[in-house]
């Protein structure tokens, strides 16, 4: 087959968690390691793409040849994505974006009070991948879905609701794959088809997924 199926294409990814500040010293976040997104960025360069990686806070080094933009919050991640999205042929949303963020960021450290409870009001974050897929001149848009049950039903619902071209779903209830793991297995769905990518190291899986993305991209262009 073609060794560089992504040659000549610009590809942008999001990866890692987001951090939603509560006050100057605290935030809400999640356990995403960013490993899958970084593995995809590295593989995309090897397959010939020009790669921009918009990353939340992670403890990973930048794969060589990748243009990396570091962000913290979902709002910052969306701004960084939108800044450069018009040039992209392919967009892959790997980030574990916080669904909600504190409504206000306290100017000073929130103090402990005599009350045993503390209520923090949250507001919904922008859906970054849905925003990209809603663009008139949208890139080939790929989302991820982490599910614990009914993988295909939830994945296909996200595929159509967010207007994606492809979705890669993984079962996060299974041990030894997904969040923070070095291995992963994916069920990939698109409007007229699907393919299972079996348990493999994330860098190997990244190659398989990108080859599939290149196939589907050229099928629709």
Q: Which member of 44, 45, 74, 90 binds ligand C5P (CB under 6 A)?
A: 74
SS3 199: strand
Asked if residue 145 binds ligand C5P (CB under 6 A), the reply is yes
Asked if residue 95 binds ligand C5P (CB under 6 A), the reply is yes
| Residue 30 a catalytic site member | yes
Asked if residue 143 binds ligand C5P (CB under 6 A), the reply is yes
Asked if residue 71 binds ligand C5P (CB under 6 A), the reply is no
Number of shown-chain residues binding ligand C5P (CB under 6 A): 15
- Closest distance between ligand C5P and the C-beta of residue 3, in Å? 28
C-alpha distances (whole Å) from 99 to each of 19, 81, 128, 131, 153 are 11, 17, 11, 14, 20
Asked if residue 158 binds ligand C5P (CB under 6 A), the reply is yes
Q: What are phi and psi of 214, to 5 degrees?
A: -60, -45
- Closest distance between ligand C5P and the C-beta of residue 15, in Å? 9
Q: Which residue stretches of 31-138 are H helix?
A: 35-46, 74-84, 128-133
Asked if residue 17 binds ligand C5P (CB under 6 A), the reply is no
124 neighbors 99 (Cβ within 8 angstroms): yes
Q: Of 49-57, 83-91, 92-100, 173-181, which part binds ligand C5P (CB under 6 A)?
A: 92-100
CA 145/CA 95 separation, integer angstroms:
10
Minimal CA–CA distance to 151: which of 188, 179, 181?
Answer: 188
- Closest distance between ligand C5P and the C-beta of residue 132, in Å? 8
Residues in the chain: 221
* Extended beta strands in the chain, E state: 10-15, 20-23, 26-28, 50-55, 67-70, 90-93, 100-102, 122-124, 140-147, 166-171, 183-190, 193-201
Q: Of 88-96, 113-121, 177-185, 210-218, which part binds ligand C5P (CB under 6 A)?
A: 88-96
Asked if residue 144 binds ligand C5P (CB under 6 A), the reply is yes
**Given 30, 125, 183, 192, the catalytic residue:** 30
Residues that bind ligand C5P (CB under 6 A): 14, 74, 93-95, 97, 125-129, 143-145, 158
- Residues involved in catalysis: 30
């Amino acid at each position: 087959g073609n060794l560089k199926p992504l040659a000549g294409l610009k590809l942008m990814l999001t990866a890692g968690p987001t951090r939603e500040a509560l006050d100057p010293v605290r935030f809400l976040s999640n356990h995403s390691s960013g490993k899958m997104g970084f593995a995809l960025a590295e593989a995309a360069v090897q397959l010939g793409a020009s790669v921009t990686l918009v990353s939340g806070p992670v403890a990973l080094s930048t794969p060589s040849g990748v243009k990396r933009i570091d962000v913290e919050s979902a709002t910052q991640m969306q701004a960084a994505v939108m800044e450069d999205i018009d040039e992209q042929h392919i967009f892959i949303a790997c980030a574990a974006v916080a669904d909600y963020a504190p409504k206000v960021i306290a100017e000073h450290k929130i103090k402990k009070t005599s009350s045993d409870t503390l209520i923090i009001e949250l507001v919904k974050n922008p859906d970054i991948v849905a925003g990209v897929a809603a663009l008139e001149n949208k890139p080939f848009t790929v989302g991820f879905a982490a599910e614990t049950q009914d993988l295909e039903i939830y994945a296909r619902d996200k595929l159509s609701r967010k207007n994606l071209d492809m979705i890669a779903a993984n079962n996060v209830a299974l041990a030894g794959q997904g969040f923070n793991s070095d291995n992963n297995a994916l069920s990939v769905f698109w409007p007229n088809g699907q393919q299972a990518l079996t348990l493999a190291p994330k860098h190997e899986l990244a190659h398989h997924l990108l080859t599939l993305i290149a196939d589907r991209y050229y099928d629709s262009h």
